[in-house]
Structure formats: C-alpha cells, structure tokens
Structure 1
Amino acid sequence: MELKPQAAVLPKEADLEQGKYGPVFPKTPACYGFTIVAKVKPGRAEAMREYGNTLAAALEEDPYLLAPLKLHYLRWVLFDDDTRFMYQGIFDTDFDKYTEDAIALFGKARVSTAFENLEGFPEDWKTNPEAFGRFVREHHCPSFIEYGEYPFVTADEIKKALRIKSALSEMLDQLQ
C-alpha cells in the first residue's frame, strides 16, 4: 500500500455540523487538531514557560502520560512580547473526544493546565467540559487547508510501523 501525500481544503465553520462542544471538523490528511490564540494573563508568561518545563519533566518520568490524547504533535508559542499564547495540537480523535480525554487525564493526574494562565479560561474547566470546549472554540483559529505527508495515518499506526521496522532491522542484523 503506497501512501501519497494529500491535502484537504476545509469548509468555513458555519458550514459544519455541530457536535457537543462546537463545530465538528472533518478528519483531514493531517488527522484532527486545533489551534488557539489567546491573551496571557498579565505577569503569567513565566508560569506558562514553567508549566512547559513541568510537563517535559513529567513526560521524562512517564513518557506515556499524554497517551490517552492520541497526539501526534503539540506546539506552544508565546509571542507579542509574551502577551499572547498559541497552542497547536494534532491528534487522532475528534475535538469532542479530545476535550473529554484531556479533562479526564488532567483530573486523574491531579495536575492543572497551562490554559489556566490565559485570560477568560474557565475556572470550573475540570468539571465543565462545555466551558472548556467553549473557550477553545472561542479562541480557535481554524485551518483552511491541511496537508499530510502520510495521510490519515494514526499515531498508533506510526508507532507500530516503527516497531516492525526495528524488529526487521534487528532480525537482519542477526542474520549477518
């Protein structure tokens, strides 16, 4: 099976069916995802950076901490002199499931979210997925085109292919 790179043009949000927490974006060759841009609460930029360090340390301790989110990538950016924050996430589930999984994950791990440092983020987000989803949707900057070098492939499929590649390489090395 040969995978060919693929792109998809996305419709405007107004043309999408509604899910629990807002528009249901179609799966694209890059899978699912969202980008938010929000104002950082005054004086909280360093707390955002420290949260990044805390998350990186937690992932060193437990590399599978974020596994329930089925992530491909996360990107966090502070810009405009650290007054605004951009979050980009690419993942394998639809937005509604991602929202519920994120809330469950943070509740189980008994940790907060960096989003608490953003203006307008709901204080009751741990018990109110609708408010969490509404915040994300209000700050979402939708894509109008997405591209996938390996279209529609899940993170689990990529990891499986890499395990098979490693096993085959090891087997071939033993034959020599």
Structure 2
Amino acid sequence: MEITPQAVVIPKETGHLEQGKYGPVFPRTPACYGFTIIADVKPGRAEAIRDHGYALAKALEADPHLLAPLKLHYLRWVLFDDDTRFMYQGIFDTDFDKYTEDAVALFGKAGVNTAFENLVGFPEDWKTNPGAFARFVREHHCPSFIEYGEYPYVTADEIKKALRVRSALSEMLDQMQ
C-alpha cells in the first residue's frame, strides 16, 4: 500500500461548514484536526507560562499517558514579541468540540490549571464552563489556510500501532539471526 502525501485548502469563510456545539466544524485535513491560538500574555506572566511547560513535562515523565485522552499528535507553545504574546498549536485526532470537552475534563480530573490562565481574556470559570473555554479559543484562533500531511489522515493510534509492529518485526528478525 502506497501512501500518497496530500494537502487540503481550508476555506476562509466558515458559514457553510457544519456547525458543532462550539462553532464551525473545520474539516479533517491530512494533518488531522487542530488549532492555533495567539493571545496576549497578562503583564508579568510569561514566566508562569514557562513554569506550566516545565510542570507539564514533569507530569508526563511521571505519567506518559496523561494527555492520551486528547488524542494528540503534537503540541507547540511559543512565547514571542518579547514574551508579550503566546502561540499554542495543537494537532489531534478528534474534532474541536470533543478536544475542548476532553481537555476541560482532563484538567479538571487531574486538578491542574492551564497555562491559558495567564492569557488576557481567558475565562476564570473555564473548569466548569467548556463553552467559555471554546469561545476563548475560537476568538483567538488563527486558522490555517492549507494543511499538508506526508502520511495523510493517519491517527496517532495508527502510528503507534505501526511502530509496535515494526518493533515486533525487528525483534523477530533479530532472533532469527
């Protein structure tokens, strides 16, 4: 089976897209689903955002599957413009509505806060109000206009399964030698 790389252009206007619980359902692309937000950092809070990054990395060392419910491929956090602005990029396998609800539930269950609390306009009631969380993300979302996938439409679970098969095959071949 040959995998052919693909790209999809995402429309600028979203009025014709199916509407989900929290707004338009952006199409699944060869890179799966995702969003990019850019928001202003509350004055003096850039170090708190960095601290959240360190805390997340440490939590993942303790429990590598902590974020598994989010079906993530990648996350990227960037502080820029002299630490006055923050960019969050996430690529995941579920649509925006499910990701939002899963993220709010996950952080609530784990009893942790989010780096987003250090951003101007982030709702204080986000833990009990997924809609407010979603509105903030939608208001700060900078949509892609094209997305490309070298291995299009492949889920994180499928990638992990393929890597397990490769590992098992490699081990089997090593034992045959």
What is the CA deviation profile of residues 64-99 of structure 1, one whole-angstrom value per residue up to 9, with x for unaligned ones? 000000000000000000000000000000000000
User: Following the alignment from structure 1 to structure 2, what is the Cα–Cα distance between the partners of residues 25 and 39?
Assistant: 24
User: Following the alignment from structure 1 to structure 2, what is the Cα–Cα distance between the partners of residues 62 and 89?
Assistant: 20
Task: Quote the residue 1:2 is aligned against.
Answer: 2
Off by >4 Å, runs of 4+ in structure 1 = none
Report the CA distance between 1:17 and its aligned residue. 2.3
What is the percent sequence identity of the aligned residues? 84
Task: Quote the residue 1:95 is aligned against.
Answer: 96
- Mapped pair 1:11 → 2:38: no
What is the CA deviation profile of residues 100-153 of structure 1, one whole-angstrom value per residue up to 9, with x for unaligned ones? 000110011100010000000000001101100000000000010000000000
Report the CA distance between 1:38 and its aligned residue. 0.1
User: Following the alignment from structure 1 to structure 2, what is the Cα–Cα distance between the partners of residues 19 and 40?
Assistant: 29
Task: Quote the residue 2:57 is aligned against.
Answer: 56
User: Following the alignment from structure 1 to structure 2, what is the Cα–Cα distance between the partners of residues 17 and 82?
Assistant: 36
SS of 2:15's partner is: helix
Task: Quote the residue 1:40 is aligned against.
Answer: 41
Aligned positions of 1:138-149 closer than 5 A: 138-149=139-150
Task: Quote the residue 1:162 is aligned against.
Answer: 163
Q: Report the count of equivalent residues.
A: 176
> What is the one-letter code of the residue matched to 1:146?
E
Task: Quote the residue 1:29 is aligned against.
Answer: 30
Structure 2 gaps, min length 5: none
SS of 1:123's partner is: coil
What TM-score comes out, normalization by structure 1 length?
0.99
Q: Which moved more, 1:61-70 or 1:17-26?
A: 17-26
Superposition RMSD on alpha carbons, in Å?
0.6
What TM-score comes out, normalization by structure 2 length?
0.98
SS of 1:89's partner is: strand
Report the CA distance between 1:57 and its aligned residue. 0.3
User: Following the alignment from structure 1 to structure 2, what is the Cα–Cα distance between the partners of residues 45 and 23?
Assistant: 31
Structure 1 gaps, min length 5: none
- Mapped pair 1:134 → 2:135: yes
User: Following the alignment from structure 2 to structure 1, what is the Cα–Cα distance between the partners of residues 42 and 107?
Assistant: 21
